[in-house]
Homo-oligomer: A and B are copies of this chain.
Amino acid sequence: MDIATRVYNHKWKIDPIVRSLIDTDFYKLLMCQSVFRNRPDTRVTFSLINRTTSVPLAKLIDEGELREQLDHIRSLSLSRGESTWLRGNTFYGKRQMFRPDFMEWFENLRLPAYELERRGDQYELTFEGTWPEVMLWEIPALAVLMELRGRAVLNDMGRFELQVLYARAMTRVWEKIERLREVETLKIADFGTRRRHSFLWQDWCVQAMMEGLGDKFIGTSNCLIAMRREVEAIGTNAHELPMVYAALAEDDAALARAPYDVLSDWHEEHEGNLRMILPDTYGTEGFLKHAPDWLAGWTGIRIDSGDPAAGAETAIRWWKERGEDPTQKLVIFSDGLDVDKIIDLHHQFQGRVRASFGWGTLLTNDFRGLVPGDRLAPFSLVCKAVSANGRPTVKLSDNPEKAMGPEDEIARYKRVFDVGEQERMDVIV
């Protein structure tokens, strides 16, 4: 390494984990623009929730270090090159996906303050403010905690031990890619930003997919990596939209309408492959049963909880009932995927729908079994909207293990959305 580079690197007080506001998932920016347009003044609280309580984050991660990383993120603003890319690039075949008023707002954005408190062996980390600002904390906050936890483990390892750790992890990813590349007509994207092992590791995984999968690799959810590696930025929308819209509903009737209101707003803004239904926030069955007819005309559906094959079968039945041809529809699987499941689902639905896969944590953070005590294994960390304009949010999902919100509100939502018996499934990551 040259001396200048070395000196420059040592000038950093810290080694920042997130170094760009677009080191985030593409759907966050799409949703942010939608919120900026439709509900800009909603005040929300996002909260970090570690569903794997056996990982004692507050024991592993120094509070000062965590604050430094979060403070660094607050110092970030959109760079000129990033802004140019967002303004000028084609996303999902469309130019100027991000409108000038949104871009102007984004260019001036700094992320709002956070509140951090240690509670036992966990951290309570919350973000409060207007929805478009606060929502952009989710991905960097998760990435920071995941990576700091990893660093705490890596700190004790020798140089060659580290090299071999990464050698093993690389070999594992590559062997997965080698299996996937045998699968004809596969379409797969990286969805692994939020719970990645680290930025550099995600970047490596994406490049390995580019080389190993060729056209089968359709892009990454990570905007910064999409920009740098010149691949497609991938993503549509997430549960936070129906969750916040629902929390804002004044009565049960408005609550029942809320998930469709979200998609109605989305319908006006987007077309083609961006018209993807995420039906499971309050139960897929009820959502589809009560859906307006225009929704059946959308391009496809994303299956993010519950038994994925069952979810896809439900969607196929629904399309047929509504007179749609399922073979023309897109089904994106994105929940806890790994190679076996991807290959199974691909073969199961080949020719019946257009299937596509959003491969997340087990792509970008499969360090399972690589260190003693499995202290680098990924775990289930989320950062969710927990309230909107002072009202609690609720998520039911197709797996009760993923449900969240106050108990009485969960009961009310289950009644309003007509949710019956649900199958409990382990949350892998």
Interface residue ranges, A against B (CB under 8 Å) = 1-2, 4-5, 158-161, 163-164, 166-168, 170-171, 174, 207-208, 211-212
Contacts and interface: CB of A to CB of B under 8 A. Distances in A.
Nearest to A210: B160
A225 to B, nearest CB: 15
A164 B159 contact: no
Given A2-B4, A2-B5, A5-B2, A171 B160 contact: no
Contact of A163 (B1, B164, B170): B170
Q: Which 9 A-B pairs have the closest CB atoms?
A: A2-B2, A167-B167, A164-B174, A167-B170, A160-B211, A160-B208, A167-B171, A158-B211, A168-B171
Contacts of A1: 2
A171 B163 CA distance: 9
Given A2-B2, A2-B5, A167 B174 contact: yes
A148 B5 CA distance: 33
A212 to B, nearest CB: 6
Contacts of A208: 160, 163-164
A158 B174 CA distance: 12
A158 B209 CA distance: 12
Contact of A167 (B4, B5, B160, B168): B168
A158 B214 CA distance: 12
A212 B166 contact: no
A161 B2 contact: no
Contacts of A168: 167, 171
Contacts of A159: 207, 211
A164 B171 contact: yes
Given A167-B171, A171-B171, A160 B5 contact: no
Nearest to A178: B164
A113 B100 CA distance: 72
A301 to B, nearest CB: 33
Given A2-B4, A164-B174, A167-B170, 18 more contacts: A2-B2, A158-B211, A158-B212, A159-B207, A159-B211, A160-B174, A160-B207, A160-B211, A160-B212, A161-B174, A161-B211, A163-B170, A163-B208, A164-B171, A164-B208, A166-B167, A167-B171, A171-B171
A9 to B, nearest CB: 12
Contacts of A166: 167
Nearest to A207: B160
A158 B168 CA distance: 19
Contacts of A161: 174, 211-212
Contacts of A164: 170-171, 174, 208
A166 B208 CA distance: 14
A23 to B, nearest CB: 22
Contacts of A160: 174, 207-208, 211-212
Contacts of A2: 1-2, 4-5
Contacts of A158: 211-212
Contacts of A174: 160-161, 164, 167
A164 B207 CA distance: 12
5 contacts: A2-B2, A161-B174, A163-B170, A163-B208, A164-B171
